[in-house]
Amino acid sequence: MIESVINLIPLTLMKFLKQILLIVTISLFLWACGSSSTINKKVTDKEEPVVIANDSLEYEIIIIDPGFTAFLNGIAQPEGFYSQNYLEARNRAWVISWNQRFQNPQQFDERIYENRIDYEPNIDYGYEVNYKLFNYFLFAQRKYKMSLGGGFRTDRIN
């Protein structure tokens, strides 16, 4: 009888230690999940707006959409990759689609289509304006998971 009591103590002690270990593990897990909020806070580095300008035409577009600068510098094809004719053709089609959505705020998110784009097909805006406008359209389609038409997929890089 004494021998069986002695054998019960280690079993009870082992069960107790397992429970404590389980509680400590769960506590550490919960603490780690709760402390991650300081790690996941957004970094509020101000991104400079991208200015698209053609001084000779007194034409300027300012893009302040966060992430566009990084897209333009890291993902977009370099300047010179597309011809100006190609960029102008894409921009004409996408401006029409953009402006139609701008005019229908009940159907399309007015936070995305905040401004009408005044792009005249008979004006030569130059390569830089067309290049940056084209890449903004690519960026916006990717970021907002939308398609402005023209056979471009929302997951298209460039």
Domain boundaries along the sequence of the chain: 2-38, 50-143
* CB neighbour class for 92 (10 Å; exposed up to 12, middle 13-18, buried from 19): middle
Q: What is the pTM of this model?
A: 0.64
- Return the amino acid letter for 140: A
The larger pLDDT score, comparing residue 26 to residue 156, is at: 26
- Range in 2-11, 79-88, 101-110 the model is least confident about: 2-11
pLDDT tens-digit readout, 113-142: 888 888 888 889 899 999 999 999 999 999
- Taking only the tens place, the pLDDT of each residue in 38-90 is 444 444 456 665 666 666 666 777 787 889 999 999 999 999 999 999 999 99
The whole-angstrom separation of Cα 15 and Cα 153 is: 59
Query: Rounded to an integer, what distance in angstroms lies between the CA atom of residue 153 and that of residue 149?
Result: 8
